Amino acid sequence: MSSIDTVLMTGKPVATALYERLKPRIEVLGQKGITPGLVALLVGDDPASAIYVGSKTRKFEELGLLAETRTLPGDISRDDLLAVIAELNAADRFHGLLVQLPLPNHLPANDLLESVAPAKDIDGFHPFNLGRLLAGNPTFIPCTPQGILELLSHYGITVAGRHAVIVGRSNIVGKPLAALLSAKQPSGNATVTLCHTGTANLAHHTRQADLLIVASGQAGLVTPDMVTPGVVIVDVGINRTGDDSPKGYHLRGDVDTEKMLGIAQAITPVPGGVGPLTVAMLVSNTVLAAERSAGVVHN
């Protein structure tokens, strides 16, 4: 049997190309005295969340944009956190406001996400923005699904007409991605199957995919026997698995990339696949928010 020369779809060149496209837009804003600004709320001391927020704000700083992190105690009350969000909603220097998830258990994430001003909701998690996405008229598209579309387009993978199987139904990845891939748009027009923990016989569905997107948070969930040769695989998962490396952990995807080489037409590595695109789309959405607040229209 002839082996497929699997393309490794790394995220960095895609993100770099996107930053190049954003630079002139950032310059136009600069000429008007506007620096796109992000404020990130980090509640508690979850080390993974601190790393994610750090990688987001560092990128803003590298691009000469404003980024501030507000670190709040893990035992902050709902009302106190709502007051901080209200203050930041009103602060003109911040065009984007993100609440890093997960929040400590005592805080109702849905309530708090609804308190972010929709015009500053650059993560696209507010029901207003999620609703607009579902209605086919998006304002802010959640960063990871938007990044996945960008990545596929960069590597010349046409989505239209494919059978896309998504594993995971979160509001952050799976559900918005299902809406985007099935939208009547050039970047969509796929037939979508959405799998989750209630799915009977996951492998039966993943084998039907010619585009498989896995966002389950389960390291190594999808194995070679669960796919059809020639499939395009996007591995969204970032899982910390313990080992004896100096860090004490290793990052693994939901798919074992090595084992898919020679089987998949293309696959994203973990780390270095979808992750850089999530950050790039956050920058892109913040630039868009700044443009809207200044009445600047870009084409």
Find the radius of gyration of the CA atoms of the chain.
Answer: 19
Q: Which is nearer to ligand NAD, 48 or 83 (CB)?
A: 48
- For ligand NAD, the binding residue among 36, 145, 176, 275 (CB under 6 A) is 275
Asked whether position 238 contacts ligand NAD by CB under 6 A, the answer is yes
Asked whether position 236 contacts ligand NAD by CB under 6 A, the answer is yes
Output the smallest distance, CB 79 to ligand NAD, in A. 26
Is 100 one of the annotated active-site residues of the chain?
yes
Among residues 59, 121, 123, 265, the one annotated as catalytic is 123
What is the rounded CA–CA span in Å between residue 286 and residue 73? 26
Q: Given the rule CB under 6 A, which of 60-68, 131-139, 233-241, 283-291 is the region that contacts ligand NAD?
A: 233-241
Residue 146 amino acid letter? Q
User: Is-cis flag, bond preceding 271, omega within 30?
Assistant: yes
Asked whether position 191 contacts ligand NAD by CB under 6 A, the answer is no
First CA to last CA across the chain, in angstroms? 48
Q: Which is nearer to ligand NAD, 39 or 226 (CB)?
A: 226
What is the rounded CA–CA span in Å between residue 36 and residue 288? 9
Asked whether position 176 contacts ligand NAD by CB under 6 A, the answer is no
- CB-based contact 135:164 (threshold 8 Å): no
Residue 22 amino acid letter? L
Asked whether position 208 contacts ligand NAD by CB under 6 A, the answer is no
Asked whether position 272 contacts ligand NAD by CB under 6 A, the answer is no
Q: Which is nearer to ligand NAD, 259 or 292 (CB)?
A: 259
* CB atoms near residue 214 (< 10 Å): 27
- For ligand NAD, the binding residue among 140, 174, 211, 264 (CB under 6 A) is 174
- CB-based contact 155:15 (threshold 8 Å): no
- CB-based contact 237:255 (threshold 8 Å): yes
Binding string to ligand NAD for residues 108 to 147, with x set by CB under 6 A, is what? ------------------------------------x---
Number of residues interacting with ligand NAD: please give it, by CB under 6 A. Answer: 25
Residue nearest to ligand NAD (CB): 170
Asked whether position 182 contacts ligand NAD by CB under 6 A, the answer is no
The tokens of 83 are what?
């007051």
Q: Which is nearer to ligand NAD, 223 or 228 (CB)?
A: 223
Torsion angle, CA of 208/213/217/218, rounded to 10 degrees? 30
- State phi, psi for 211 to the nearest 5 degrees: -135, 120
- State phi, psi for 85 to the nearest 5 degrees: -65, -40
- For ligand NAD, the binding residue among 172, 234, 280, 288 (CB under 6 A) is 172
What is the rounded CA–CA span in Å between residue 281 and residue 60? 11
What is the rounded CA–CA span in Å between residue 287 and residue 23? 10
Asked whether position 36 contacts ligand NAD by CB under 6 A, the answer is no
Positions annotated as catalytic residues are 56, 100, 123
- Residues lying near ligand NAD in the complex (CB under 6 A): 144, 167-170, 172-174, 195-197, 199, 202, 215-218, 221, 236-239, 274-275, 278
